[in-house]
Amino acid sequence: MGGYNAGSGIMCCVSSWRRADGNAAPARAKVGGIYAAMALARYEAISLGFDEAITLTANGHVAEGTAENIFLVFGDKIVTPDLGQDLLAGITRASIIELMRSELGLEVIERSVNRSELYFADEVFMCGTAAEVTSVLEIDGRTVGDGGMGATARAVRDLYLEVVHGRLPQYQHWCRPVSAKVEA
């Protein structure tokens, strides 16, 4: 996700391209053909002036972004598409769900998500290896919440960054030290 300041949030559209059905390609695998379809969705979004696309399943339910999982906030509940929605079961997704439940005490509900729910959520955010935790400010020209990063997304992002930067001892086992030999 590049070309914009993801720190302040992103503008998304629902793509006309659908997420590949799990019976056509293994949805939980990082398969090249699925990436090609996601590249088409992202290109469509960018060509329409958006930062990112949200994809739907073959049945019209919310799946994910082109390289990110998606979460919707309704009051004190977090809703995210379940793994039966032909989405990538990402490590970042699983980590975010665990952190929201165990550290923030949030109720996370994994279920089918209707497209219309995107437009009525209090907050929407995405997560992924490159995206980390990114707030969605607008979907299809409709402002999400108050148009800024919401309190839940901010708390999740801040906690996630503490973990990935190795500042929380209880999650050190999630981190792998990287050392590089620098040649002059």
Query: Would you please indicate which residues are annotated as catalytic (active-site) residues?
Result: 30
Residue 161, token pair as written in the block: 């960054």
How far from 95 is each of 100, 140, 150, CA to CA, in Å?
9, 28, 20
Contact 19, 87 (CB under 8 A): yes
As a whole number of angstroms, the distance between CA 75 and CA 23 comes to 35
Tell me the one-letter amino acid at 127.
Answer: C
Contact 9, 137 (CB under 8 A): yes
As a whole number of angstroms, the distance between CA 60 and CA 114 comes to 7
Cα atoms in the Cβ-side hemisphere of radius 13 Å centred on 142? 16
